[in-house]
Amino acid sequence: MKNTLSRRNFVIQSGALMAAACVASSPTPAFAQALPVSGKPMPINLGICSYTFRNFNRAQLIAYLKQLNITNLNVKDVKDHLPMDPALEAQALADYAAAGIKLHAAGAIYFRTPDEADIRSKFEYAKRAGIGVIVAGDPTPESLKWIEKFVQEYNIKIAIHNHGPEDKFFPSPFDVLKAIKDLDPRIGFCIDVGHAARANANLVDAIHATGPRLYDMHIKDLTSFSSRESQVAVGEGIMPVRDIFQALIDIKYPGFVDLEYEIHADDPMPGVIESLAYERGVLAGMGYLTHA
């Protein structure tokens, strides 16, 4: 798999986008008012995982999201981002609503034991937040029967997150597929492209195989598909971002592509900014509008 957007073309496209942003942020000159807007509506919903900002509190997280012009958040119970405690959770939800931030997924939330009460509590957590997708980390085969029961009771989707070669049960999306093919269709997938690539999964094939049961995606980049420690900003590695986006467009994926930037935890913003700029640059190069 090879990243098909050259750095040179990306720089050209990013420059065009930056110029457009500058025009948009200043009084519109008379000559620009006559220029037609070109490009197709963007078919990919870009979001971010709050785990990216795991060393920062909720107020700092919200401030970063405003800087990034990102309003779609996959939130996790880390720091005070979305606590499991109902009262603390309610305050967090109020803060996000006031900031115009929409929570589309919760997780990763772990289901390592087939404990009925524990699993129910996690569905209650998502229900209180009005979140329709739980990104499930490391569910055991034994826990799947309870997960299926609560998916049916709460009508909340489960997106099982593959965790690469280290994952005992679900290294790649294809391993998830084998385990859930006969279960309620609301039990589906969160493809983590970095972990999936390290598990030797063909990412385009995985997207097509999961199809309508793909409920979330985590995007990152690596310089080597054999090294977990080789993560870099999106666009600096070998992740086939354009091919991934095209596959998502082909299946009419309605969910979110959430940046999960797991390096430089104490100073993530430079890499996050670069990653989002690259993703938008890829989409612009494919002929899509990446701004209103």
CATH number at residue 263: 3.20.20.150
Domain range for residue 178?
42-285
C-alpha–C-alpha distance, residues 177 and 141, integer Å: 13
Residue-by-residue DSSP string for 67-134: HHT--EEEE-SSTTSS-SSHHHHHHHHHHHHHHT-EEEEEEEEE--S--HHHHHHHHHHHHHHT--EE
Res 290: pLDDT:
77
Q: For residue 197, is it within any domain? A: yes
Res 16: pLDDT:
42
Res 292: pLDDT:
52
Res 97: pLDDT:
98
DSSP state of 283: H
C-alpha–C-alpha distance, residues 165 and 171, integer Å: 5
Decide: helix, strand or coil at residue 186: coil
Token output for 175: 């391993």
Q: For residue 130, is it within any domain? A: yes
User: 209 near 172, Cβ under 8 Å?
Assistant: no
Q: Print pLDDT tens along the chain (292 aa).
A: 444 444 434 443 444 444 334 333 334 344 334 445 567 899 999 999 999 999 999 999 999 999 999 999 999 999 999 999 999 999 999 999 999 999 999 999 999 999 999 999 999 999 999 999 999 998 998 999 999 999 999 999 999 999 999 988 999 999 999 999 999 999 999 999 999 999 999 999 999 999 999 999 999 999 999 999 999 999 999 999 999 999 999 999 999 999 999 999 999 999 999 999 999 999 999 999 876 5
44: Cβ–Cβ under 8 A, 6 or more apart, which residues?
Answer: 245, 248, 249, 253, 257, 279, 283, 288
C-alpha–C-alpha distance, residues 129 and 86, integer Å: 10
C-alpha–C-alpha distance, residues 106 and 96, integer Å: 14
Res 38: pLDDT:
62
User: 258 near 49, Cβ under 8 Å?
Assistant: yes
Q: For residue 238, is it within any domain? A: yes
| Domains: count for the chain | 1
Q: For residue 210, is it within any domain? A: yes
Q: For residue 10, is it within any domain? A: no
Res 26: pLDDT:
36
Q: For residue 17, is it within any domain? A: no
Q: For residue 270, is it within any domain? A: yes
Residue keyed to tokens 């977990």: 228
Q: How far is CA 89 from CA 1, 158, 164, 188, in A?
A: 41, 20, 31, 26
Token output for 168: 């005992």
- DSSP strand pairing (231-232 vs 221-222): antiparallel
215: Cβ–Cβ under 8 A, 6 or more apart, which residues?
Answer: 105, 133, 157, 158, 159, 188, 189, 190, 255
User: 135 near 163, Cβ under 8 Å?
Assistant: no
- Of 103, 169, 174, 105, whose CA–CA distance to 142 is shortest? 169
Q: For residue 9, is it within any domain? A: no
C-alpha–C-alpha distance, residues 143 and 116, integer Å: 8
Res 138: pLDDT:
87
Residue type, 159: A
